[in-house]
Structure 1
Amino acid sequence: MTRARVMKGSIFFLLFLGVVAGCIPCHTPSSPLPVECTDLRGNVEEAFATPSVCCGEELCGSYWEIFQDSDLSYLIEDGLKVNPDIKSAEARIALASEEARVARAVLYPHLFLFGGIKRVRKTKVNPDPPGGLDLYTESTLGLTNLSYELDLWKKNRSLYYSALSEEQAQIADWCQTRLLLASAIAQSYFALKTNLEKIVINQGRLAAREELYSLLDQQFRMGVINEFRLYETNGEVQEIKDLLYLLEEESEINRHALTALVVSPSCGAVSLPQNLGGSLSSPFPLPATLPLDLLSRRPDIVAERWRVESGLHQVQAAKARFFPQIDLAAFVGFRSIKFSELFSGRALDLIGEATGLLLLFTAGQLEAELGIARTTSDLFIESYNQTLLVAIQEVSDALTQLISSDRRKETVTLAIEDAAKLYNLTSQRYEKGIANRITVLNATENLLAQEDLAADIELARLISAVDLIRAIGGGYDVGR
């Protein structure tokens, strides 16, 4: 008979859970992009076929050392220590860690000790107090008060896993912040280096144009040439002057950017050497495993993936609220109206309790909370998809720009060699009295113009290398 009752109770309970589960609204969730949409093999294989890229090992954490510049390495390492964005990211990690500890604490029983004294006065409608007293004092000392929620539907466990996932996402965000900061420092550094080089080059161009203008002015006064050539040369002089003003302005802006990125608020301006270095003298060492592990190399993708996990756990927790909540409680202590008998055996008080709570009507609150959790999860998934598509585009664009800038560098290098040969021949002819000074100045202007173009191309090459490093995740280690 007892077994039959147990069987009937079990069947009724299962049917009850089935009815409750059937009350949970249905939903078609978003899904991550399939693997075939994230294939980079074609782009990487094309890059390996060019001299700009070689097959190399994974980049280390100090990936900026690839540029072989100790000053740049010092600036980046210093910036990673003092930049406020890094400090803020570290604070968010600590906050997420504490929130995970709070969520973890709910998984365990809570135990505490308490005591109290209560003064009670008998009323006319109250039952007789102990011993028929009209006025008495009750003392209580709780040695053990235990409460525990049975997490049968994994609500609390899902919330804990969600908090852990968010903590991992914050760690990945911290790595992404470091990567973006190092990239910004390197790009500002290379831009400043290039602008300073261009200032020197264009100062030489300005000197050559001004000397040419002086010679043409003499010829104009002698009636050898008309004013059109003179005005044209003067216009070129003013253009170079304007370019120098612009380069000086950009140089100061680059310095300001480096100061903002590297120096802490309590420090002064950043100190830079006179001659800035930095170069990419060898093919870019692209990891051969890139098409396979891009998802684990980029910290922003890893962060989005952890947030997807967090959102899914939040959905699971929201579903668990539709089921009964079962709590266990126990009390072991002493209770007596006489303080002298508080610790006697007769004053020992033992209480055990099990309670269940099922929310039958909440005016749609449970459904709304589940809808919020599902929508948030869908947002995380779509954000992950968008981040992944952007990552693929950034890798492809950076590879294209690096290969293109290398090809342009080869072209301008040949042009500089030809311009240098022309300048040497013209100078030799001038020394022998065969050519005039104007011919030498024109050859000088041609050579300096090619060097100015080469500086722009080298900057584009360095920037594209930094972009490629950032696009493939730098030296990020998913196991950190």
Structure 2
Amino acid sequence: MKTQISRATGRALRSAKVLPLLLSAWLAGCASYAGISSDKHITDPTTLEATASLPAEQGRWPAADWAAQFGDAQLRALIAEALEGSPSIDMAKARLAAAAAYSEGANANTLPRVDAGYALTRQQYSATAMVPPPVAGSWQTENRGVISATYELDLWGKNREALASSVSARRAAEAESEQVRLSVSSAVARAYNELARLYALLDIAQNEVRQRGALARITHARAASGLDTEVEQRTADANLDASNATVTALNGAILNARYQLGALLGRGPDRALALARPTLSPGDTVRLPDNLPADLVSRRPDIVAARWRVDASTHDIKGAKAGFYPDINLSATIGLDAFGFGRFLTAASRTASAGPAIHLPIFDAGALRAQLKGRYAEFDMAVANYNQTLIGALTDVATQLAQIRTIDAQLVDALRAEQNSRRARDLALAQYRQGLTTQLTVLNAETSALARTQAVAQLRMTRRDRQIALAASLGGGYTDTSGVAGAPEQPQSPQSPQ
């Protein structure tokens, strides 16, 4: 009796010695991420100084069909065609499908797994090992068929955080896909406006050819009457040839612009050859919507995507921290195992097992800490990218608005200058016909009138280009709908795996 008590006491003392060691190992494995953190956070848009640059003007956000404001049905049809056939759209769809597949895989890791297997093994057993006769030294055929089930308890949320991260990444891919659509549609609209600009310049150049032709005829008539010399004739002919060369160059530029449109549409170069001449109107009055900095974060797909990337990084950090804690897996197996085929399907061949498995990281040479530091670095980069995207978006809106306002002011003076230069050209030409002035005066007046007319056309086309860019910088009609399902809040620096 005393011997039994002594043995029991010895076992208890040994257990008491082992327990602190296990507890120390537990603490060493779970507390080793101490000191790894981040002080970065995303910027609140209401704290950015933008009141003067982005005044509240009671305007409206762009509609999804924002190109309709320019009154050209062909432009709207081209945008729709580009959104269907552009390779950029196809790549965005592929990235979104990949993100969705990754999310499905992460979800599978949170659920139990059931597998079935069968193995047929022909083996000669050693006659001098642990296998007893009559199997020892003989050839045997082993049949084994089992069904196994495994489930990770995920007490610390590692798999759940991986799933949450993948969901955020998928939502980021959705927003990025919308950004690609916006980029394609705005690129088509701007290329189409460039085509309209070239046609406007072509009209001016062709009108210049007519005027230079008329001047050449007057000069030849004056030379025939002895009022001008061959110098004036040659000068008039040279200017006419130069104007014809300008028309030829513009026709070439128009052809190149059509080819660029064809590429944006995802078609061959011949697709744009059949396009009619653009008939764009000036567009809507430009007025910014109210509460712009705060609302812009849900109107720009690139900002929404950057915000979801921050949220995904937050979950990645929590998942990395959960890796410091023990994994507990439950497993169970049931099946049949027998030598030969005759007894394989009998009750005596049944086999079964069940039990937990625990894995606790104690010493990994710093691998887990390095992984967590990498996750924090990715978080810092995601936050910096979000902040940069937000500031860039506000700057983009302010820049486009300022350029439109500047062009509006320029147009007032440019239109007045165009009117005066045309009047001066007409007077010079009339006086030249009457022999009251020289050809040089007419040429100078025509050159000035041409430059003023081109300047007005350039300003109008540039203003429309800036209107297109402004519509895109305001999100092009995009609205973040993921907030209904719980949009990511302002993620602060993750501090715990919970």
TM-score (norm. length: structure 1): 0.84
1-side partners of 2:157 and 2:468: how far apart?
45
Deviations 1:104-155 (A, max 9, x none): 111111101222334443322333448767444433232x311112212222
Task: Measure, in 1, the Cα distance between the counterparts of 2:49 and 2:36.
Answer: 33
- SS of the residue 1:282 aligns to: coil
C-alpha change, 1:66 and 1:129, in structure 2 (3 Å) is farther
Deviations 1:393-427 (A, max 9, x none): 11000001112222233333444555667788899
What's the counterpart of residue 139 of structure 1?
143
- The structural deviation recorded for 1:45 is 2.0
1:309-346 Cα distance to aligned partner (Å, 9 max, x none): 12222222222222222211111223333644444444
1:212 aligned to 2:221? no
Per the alignment, in what secondary structure is the counterpart of residue 116 of structure 2? strand
User: 2:117 matched to which residue of 1?
Assistant: 114
Alignment partner, residue 412 of structure 1: 414
Contact 1:204 1:448 in 2 (8 A): no
Aligned counterparts, 1:62-81, within 5 A: 62-81=65-84
The 10-residue stretch of structure 1 (395-404 or 158-167) with the greater mean CA deviation from structure 2: 158-167
Counterparts in 2 of 1:35 and 1:287: CA distance versus 1, 3 Å: closer
Asked whether the equivalents of residues 311 and 376 of structure 1 are also in contact (C-alpha less than 8 Å), the reply is yes
| Amino acid in the other structure paired with 2:403 | Q
User: What CA deviation, in whole Å up to 9, does each residue of 1:80-122 have, x standing for no partner?
Assistant: 1001010111011111111111111111111012223344433
| Partner Cα separation in structure 2 for residue 339 and residue 273 of structure 1 | 76
Equivalent position SS for 2:351: strand
Contact 2:106 2:163 in 1 (8 A): yes
Please state whether the residue corresponding to 2:373 is helix, strand or coil.
Answer: helix
Matched-pair contact (CA < 8 Å) for 2:338–2:349: yes
Q: Which residue of 1 aligns with 2:383?
A: 381
In 1, the alpha carbon distance for the partners of 2:240 and 2:355 equals: 94
Residue identity in the other structure for 2:352: L
Q: Please tell me whether the aligned partners of residues 161 and 319 of structure 2 are also in contact (alpha carbons under 8 angstroms).
A: yes
Q: 2:256 aligned to 241, 253, 264, which one?
A: 253
Q: Deviations over 1:273-330 (max 9, x none)?
A: 4431112243035433433211111111111111111222222222222222221111
Q: Pick from 31, 39, 44 the counterpart of residue 54 of structure 2.
A: 44
Query: In the aligned structure 2, how far is the partner of 1:349 from the partner of 1:300?
Result: 57
- Contact 1:263 1:269 (8 Å CA) reproduced: no
Larger mean Cα displacement after TM superposition, 273-282 or 380-389: 273-282
Alignment of 1:51-130 (within 5 A): 55-129=58-132
Hey, what's the Cα distance between the residues in 1 that align with 2:139 and 2:314? 58
| Alignment partner of 1:23 out of 32, 38, 41 | 32
- Count of residue correspondences: 466
User: In 2, distance between residues paired with 1:305 and 1:237?
Assistant: 59
Does the C-alpha gap of structure 1 residues 440 and 123 become closer, same or farther in structure 2, counting only changes over 3 Å? closer
Q: Which amino acid aligns with 2:286?
A: F
Partner residue in 2 for 1:52 = none
Aligned to 1:4: none
Secondary structure of residue in 2 paired with 1:114: strand
Q: CA deviation at 1:41?
A: 3.5
Give me the whole-angstrom Cα distance separating, in 1, the residues matched to 2:88 and 2:353.
53
Counterpart of 2:399 in structure 1 is: 397
Is residue 159 from structure 1 mapped to residue 168 from structure 2 by the alignment? no
User: For residue 321 of structure 1, what is the amino acid of its counterpart?
Assistant: G
Q: 2-side partners of 1:10 and 1:444: how far apart?
A: 101
* 1:352 aligned counterpart, secondary structure: strand
Q: Given residue 209 of structure 2, which amino acid in structure 1 is its aligned partner?
A: L
Gaps of 5+ in 2: 1-16, 483-498
CA 1:139–1:66 in structure 2 vs 1: closer, same or farther (change >3 Å)? Answer: same
- Alignment-derived partner of residue 149 in structure 1: 152
Taking the aligned partners of 1:10 and 1:79, their CA distance within structure 2 comes to: 69
> Structure 1 residues 479, 17: closer, same or farther in 2, change over 3 A?
farther
Are 1:206 and 1:241, in contact at CA under 8 Å, matched by a contact in 2?
yes
Match in the other structure for 1:3? none
Q: Is the contact between residue 173 and residue 303 of structure 1 (CA under 8 Å) also seen in structure 2?
A: yes
In the TM superposition, residue 252 of structure 1 has moved relative to its aligned partner by 2.5
- C-alpha change, 1:274 and 1:347, in structure 2 (3 Å) is closer
- 1:255 Cα offset (Å): 1.3
Write the distance in 2 (CA, Å) between the matches of 1:108 and 1:11: 35
**CA distance 1:440–1:121, change in 2 (3 Å):** closer
Separation of aligned partners in 1, 2:172 and 2:70: 30
Question: What is the alpha-carbon distance in structure 2 between the residues aligned to residue 62 and residue 338 of structure 1?
Answer: 73
Amino acid at match of 1:140: R
Other structure's SS at 1:79 match: helix
Q: State how far apart, in whole Å, the 2-side matches of 1:252 and 1:163 are.
A: 46
- SS of the aligned residue for 1:331 comes to strand
Residues of 2 paired with 1:261 and 1:11: CA distance?
69
After superposition, the Cα gap between the structure-2 partners of 1:227 and 1:17, relative to the gap in structure 1 and judged at 3 Å, is farther
**In the alignment, residue 356 of structure 2 is paired with which amino acid?**
A
User: Is 1:169 aligned to 2:179, yes or no?
Assistant: no
Distance in 1 (alpha carbons) for counterparts of 2:427 and 2:207: 19
* Aligned residue in 1 for 2:10: none
Instruction: Tell me the amino acid that sits aligned with residue 248 of structure 1.
Output: N
For the residues of structure 2 that align with 1:232 and 1:151, how far apart are their CA atoms? 89
Report the AA paired with residue 262 of structure 1. Answer: L
Query: Which range moves more in the overlay, 67-76 or 449-458?
Result: 449-458
**Is contact 1:208-1:441 (8 Å) kept?**
no
Structure 1 position 208, deviation (Å): 1.6
Q: Is the CA contact (8 Å cut-off) linking 1:208 and 1:445 kept in structure 2? A: no
Equivalent AA in structure 1 for residue 144 of structure 2: T
Q: Report the more deviating stretch, 397-406 or 25-34.
A: 25-34
Q: Could you tell which deviates more after superposition, 226-235 or 391-400? A: 226-235
Q: Is the CA contact 1:150–1:328 (under 8 Å) kept in the aligned structure 2?
A: yes
SS of the equivalent of 2:354 reads: strand
Q: Please say if residues 259 and 270 of structure 2, whose CA atoms lie closer than 8 Å, have aligned partners that are also in contact.
A: no
Contact persistence 2:110–2:159 (CA under 8 A)? yes
Q: Which string of whole-angstrom CA distances, capped at 9 and with x for unpartnered residues, describes residues 344-398 of structure 1? A: 4443322112111123333332222222222122112111111111111110000
Q: Secondary structure at the match of 1:269?
A: helix
Cα offsets for 1:434-460 (capped at 9, x unmatched)? 999979998776655443222111111
- The superposition leaves residues 23-51 of structure 1 with CA deviations (integer Å, 9 ceiling, x where unpaired) of 114233432224344354433327x3xxx
The alignment partner of 1:461 has SS state of: helix
2: CA distance between counterparts of 1:69 and 1:80?
Answer: 17
Would you say 1:460 and 2:462 are equivalent positions? yes
Residue equivalent to 2:5:
none
**Paired letter, 2:293:** P
Q: Once the 2 structures are TM-superposed, how far is the Cα of residue 240 of structure 1 from its aligned partner?
A: 4.2
Q: Distance in 1 between matches of 2:83 and 2:132?
A: 71
2:42 to 32, 44, 51: 32
Letter in 2 for 1:371: K
Pick the aligned partner of 2:186 from 166, 183, 195: 183
Structure 1 residue runs of 5 or longer lacking an equivalent are: 1-7, 49-54
Q: Which residue of 2 aligns with 1:195?
A: 198
CA contact (8 A) 1:38 1:392 kept: no
1:335 is aligned to 337
